[in-house]
Amino acid sequence: MKRLAVIGLTCLLAACVSSLADLRQGKADKVGDFPVAAVYLSSCVYQAMTGMVSPSDFRLKAHADNLGLYITVTRVADANTTRERAALDLRFLAHDQTTSVELRERGRDGWGRARQAWPLIERCSQQLTARPAPNPTAP
């Protein structure tokens, strides 16, 4: 019985990883360049998305690897299981003075989340590049 449980868990984990890997290997649905450091832009977007995404239906995962920073939104398939399906993947690639953002979506959940996520990316970029007004000089 233990052996069957281990085999089942291994297959489940492999399916989740391959789902995410397939999503990342595909062509990006939307790409943009922003004049902000990747670490700051991804952090701002992640914080904005945590207020947007329902924790009972979706899980946000943020991590870095040697290729860039990622934010992945996964939909829990069933409340009684831990099976997840990747719905949206954001990849933040750092360049000299800019960050390229690649958005990949999957299914209806991904399409809806992508329509909400891209304006957040643009808003965060604007907020982070806004400069404070200069101090007025005394007459």
Count the helices and strands in the chain (H runs, E runs): 3, 5
pLDDT of residue 34: 96
Regions in the chain scoring below 70 on pLDDT: 1-25, 53-58, 77-84, 131-139
Written as six digits, the tokens of 131 are 């400069």
pLDDT of residue 32: 96
Written as six digits, the tokens of 25 are 């290997």
Strand ranges across the sheet with 68-76: 30-34, 99-105, 84-94, 68-76, 58-65
pLDDT of residue 61: 81
Rounded to whole angstroms, the Cα distance separating 14 from 31 reads 28
What are the chain's domains? 2-129 (3.30.310.80)
DSSP state of 10: H
Rounded to whole angstroms, the Cα distance separating 88 from 134 reads 40
Q: Measure CA 13 to chain center.
A: 20
pLDDT of residue 20: 47
pLDDT of residue 124: 95
Taking a C-beta distance cutoff of 8 angstroms, is the pair 110, 53 a contact? no
